[in-house]
Amino acid sequence: MSSKTRLASWLTALLVGGPMTISTYAQTTAVAKSTIVDHAANGSVVTVTDKAMIVRVKRDKDLNVAITPNTEKIGNISDGKYVTVHYRNEKGQHVATSIQQSAGPGSSAFPKPKNNSPTEH
C-alpha cells in the first residue's frame, strides 16, 4: 500500500470515527447528569430551621436534611406536621429539593361521609 493510500485510509478513519467519538462523549455526559437520583421520605417534623430539618420517618429513625434557598416548601412546614420530603444526596449530605405538608398515616384524603340513614322512632 502506498503512503498516499495509507494517509487517505487514516484520514477517512479519523473523519468517520472522530464525530462518533464526540457524539458518544456527549451522550455519556448527558446520561451521567440525568442519573442524579431523587429520593422521597414521609414522616413528622421533629424540628425545622431555615437551613435544616429533622423528620421522624420511623419510630426509631430520623432523617436529617439540609434546606437551601432552592428548596420548594409547600404548606405549613413546622414542628409536628406530617410532610413528604424529596431530597438528593450531594457530597454525603441529604439536600431537600422540596418539602410538602401531607396527610398523616391513617388519615384519608377524602372526608368520611356522614351517616344520613333514617332513624327509627
Q: Where are the domains of the chain?
A: 1-35, 38-101
| 49-63 residue pLDDT tens | 999 999 999 999 999
Which CATH number does 38-101 carry? 2.40.50.320
Quote the CA–CA distance of 85 and 96 in Å, as a whole number. 7
In 10 A of CB 53, how many CB atoms? 24
Whole-structure pTM value: 0.59
| Cβ-contact 65, 95 below 8 angstroms | yes
- Alpha carbon 6 to its chain centroid, in Å, reads 53
Q: Above 50 in pLDDT, residue 13?
A: yes
Q: 76 vs 33, which has greater pLDDT?
A: 76
Give the model's pLDDT for residue 89.
Answer: 94
Beta strands in the chain (DSSP E): 38-48, 52-58, 61-66, 72-74, 82-90, 93-101
Give me the percent of the chain exceeding a pLDDT of 70.
57
